[in-house]
Amino acid sequence: MQSTLDLFLRSLWPIVSGALVATIPLALASFAIGIVVALVVALMRLSPTRWLRWPARFFVSVIRGTPLLVQLFVVFYGLPSIGVKLDPWPSAIIAFSLNVGGYGAEIIRAAIQSVPRGQWEAAHTIGMSRGQALRRIILPQAARVSVPPLSNTFISLVKDTSLASLILVTELFRQARQIATVSNEFMLLYLEAALVYWVVCLVLSSGQGVLEKRLDRHVAH
């Protein structure tokens, strides 16, 4: 018992530091880039031009229709065979942000479409162009609608970064696996990893409440 607790405590820092230097930065960077991708793809999906709509649909379909692990392997192990050799970190960020882009695009598209048509018309009647209406009137309202589902996507992403351990990124789960292999204490180390993921997600998702409150200021009084 004494040695179990001892091992737990001794392995806590390597695991937590894996979260701090890899899991969390990887998730934040991929999410930030992914949201930009998602917005662009969502707007393409809603474009009146078929040549923008069609590639966007194709992208979303591929991202959602293939496993994230396969996407990760294609970028890291596949691309070198056509001459594109990327380090683990850039590979992970590319794969994760494209993945967030695919799922986020559908969320943002639905959020934009949930804004009543009357809002577009009111924006147009005061003379706004489509772009202006989108920026000033529609997107601020769509943002509020998309926070809860995008938070889901973000939480999933945090956990999915564990897959990066398979392309040699030394993140939270890779640290736990290494200690588990050496100590032979698989149950302990994997539960410990689960615990740290859980705490990280708790902390990060508290941001959702803050964001919702901020975006709700015109509703709740």
Where on the chain is the footprint of other proteins (CB under 8 A)?
Answer: 116, 118-119, 121-128, 132, 136-137, 140-141, 144, 217-219, 221
Q: Which of 55, 91, 80, 60 is nearest to 164 (CA)?
A: 91
For residue 23 the two structure tokens come to 């899991």
**How crowded is residue 82: how many other Cβ atoms within 10 Å of its Cβ?**
7
- Rounded CA-CA distance 174/14 in Å is 10
- Residue 154 CB, shortest distance to other proteins, in Å, is 23
Nearer residue to other proteins within complex by CB, 83 or 131 = 131
Cβ neighbours of residue 162 closer than 8 Å, sequence gap 6 or more: 23, 171, 172, 173, 197
Q: Nearer to other proteins by C-beta: 7 or 212?
A: 212
* Least Å from the CB of residue 98 to other proteins: 31
* Smaller CB separation from other proteins, 52 or 143: 143
DSSP 137: I
The distance of closest approach from Cβ of residue 148 to other proteins in the complex, given in angstroms and rounded to an integer, is: 17
24: phi then psi, degrees, rounded to nearest 5: -70, -50
**Minimum distance of other proteins from residue 119's CB (angstroms):** 6
Q: Which is nearer to other proteins, 5 or 122 (CB)?
A: 122
